Structure 1
């Protein structure tokens, strides 16, 4: 049986040549901040809401840019075979802190790439291809 892709948005944030990732409660791998859109939400609305819920940050609308879209095998999503993840960059305001369902955040470099879920790995590679990561 063919399943539709899980369609999500993600924030790609790079600092000191490492990419921000989060671990949700009960998950073994790291994900990018973001998630599914609610009914009627555009990319900006969904991503800014998700990042506020997960990291207590306000994204900056003026610096919001699409980085690209990746597709990868879905991890811990039994109803979906693949994830389609629209990746965006943006500045932020606030003090980063794990919130909501997020237990921790950390910055991941090339040596820790295997800690990322497949779609986050694809986003990491996209950031490298776009020159954001070394």
Structure 2
């Protein structure tokens, strides 16, 4: 039996050639601010909601621009279960802040790629290839 793909959305907030990533409380794995797309939500609406829930950023889903979709093995899931992560460019001058579900915020370059699960590592590689981050 094949497990259904995990459908998630995330934001890429880039400043000074670094992208915002977070760690969950008590864990040291870096991941993109984002999460599962709820029934009835568009991927952009999910990205905006998760950005608010995780890093206290109020983003307009209509202003988010989809950059790409990452499809890879889902972190912490059985072999063969894929995550399909739609990554949206977020633009705001507001300061992100860690929510109750987030342990800490990190401004990351490809130097930290070994601290990321497969999807996050793929995002870092793609952002670096586009010239957005170091």
How far has the Cα of 1:25 moved from its partner? 2.5
TM-score normalized by the length of structure 1: 0.88
Distance 2:133 2:95 in 1: 23
Does the 8 Å CA contact 2:22/2:106 hold for their aligned counterparts?
yes
How far has the Cα of 1:79 moved from its partner? 9.1
The residue number in structure 2 matching 1:99 is 99
Alpha-carbon spacing, 1:93–1:18, altered in 2? closer, same or farther (3 Å)? closer
The residue number in structure 1 matching 2:129 is 129
How far has the Cα of 1:27 moved from its partner? 3.4
How far has the Cα of 1:69 moved from its partner? 0.5
How far has the Cα of 1:128 moved from its partner? 1.8
RMSD, aligned α-carbons: 1.9
SS of the counterpart of 1:133?
coil
Gaps of 5+ in 1: none
The residue number in structure 1 matching 2:86 is 86
Gaps of 5+ in 2: none
The residue number in structure 1 matching 2:14 is 14
Alignment of 1:16-95 (within 5 A): 16-61=16-61, 63-78=63-78, 81-92=81-92, 94-95=94-95
The residue number in structure 2 matching 1:118 is 118
TM-score normalized by the length of structure 2: 0.88
